[in-house]
A and B are shown apart, each in its own frame.
Chain A
Amino acid sequence: MAKPKLSTVFLGGCFGCHMSLLDIDERIIELVDIVEIYKSPLVDRKVFEERSDIGLIEGGCVTEENVEVLLALRDHCDFLISVGECAIMGDIPSLRNTIPLRECIEEAYLNTVSTWNPTHNIPNDPELPLLLNRVHPCHDIVKIDAAIPGCPPRSDALWEALQALLHNKPVQLPYEILKYD
């Protein structure tokens, strides 16, 4: 029988939630034994061809590309989990939500003290994904089946959740392994 499939995406985050997944340490050896990591920044597959049983989302939606990636993940996953505060709430990237986008961009490309920009270039290539006016949590865009809090969540919480789901058991995360910072 084919192994169940796990896919992960990295949207507007810092990669810390993926790092927390790697923080299961030796259990990674057990993990790759019971599940196929199907599409993820950790493997080389570029497009979905089959469905995944579980999808993990790190990061909120910062660009239109994030939205497309999230929609594709929803289309191809049976059970979708927002992992960490950025996916759940927007978190640090959403600190820009109180500031006009134009100010953020001008700060980066025109005002910062080490910038050398005599022609006042602002990147504007047609291929650059549009920035959203606001950073959105993932549940603004698609239906989310579960969320695991933390910045990042504890690796034990990720491990317990995956274990339960992969063995068709109810997910019960004891309070001790949840955290919110």
Chain B
Amino acid sequence: MGTEMTVANASSAARTEILRRIRVAKGGTSTEAAAQSGWGHVTREYRRTSALETEALLELLEDRLRDYDAHVVRVGADDVADAVSKILTTRGKRRIVVPDGLTAEWLPEGFEFVTDDGMSATSLDAFDGVITGSTVAIAVTGTVILQNIAGQGRRAVTLVPDYHLCVVKATDVVETVPQAMEKLSGTSELTTTFFSGPSATADIEMTRIKGVHGPRHLDVILIM
């Protein structure tokens, strides 16, 4: 108890002092109104809308994802389970963890799908892979965005297994980063993960190497 109090006191003294130094440095205290109006005056002349038709948009996303070593297929809404089955068979994956709330129709017969119930990282490590849905995808950057909601799950589930199969709906694809941020704005406090291709590093002689700590392989099914 004694130490906690000392830490709290020291921190509040530091807080007061740092805020004082900032105000002296700037010559005054900022108000919410001033901050808001100043923020509103930032010039934002960069691109914030899409110029592409749907087909061109999806092609761009596919192209950018492939550029990042992700494998992408397009399917109709009724053919997802079929596509999942083919991909898992080709990859030789059998035992797959899925987040709670994943669309049941996406999952084919003949594999073992286990719903995550908050299992330990070590248990997750023992799976062949994970299947999830997604919230938004950005074509220009080849990025898919997950949030902690039904069908996408907590972060550890898409992180620990060596393989990730992600289902993206064509209607969730946007062209630019600002469009994606706008879509996320209503749920900005949810835990959010952007991924662009599988885990990679360029730390050794600037050679891009796939798969360091995150999933080493990423497949994306794009539903039309």
Do A and B pair up? The answer is no
- Report which B residues bind A (CB closer than 8 A): none
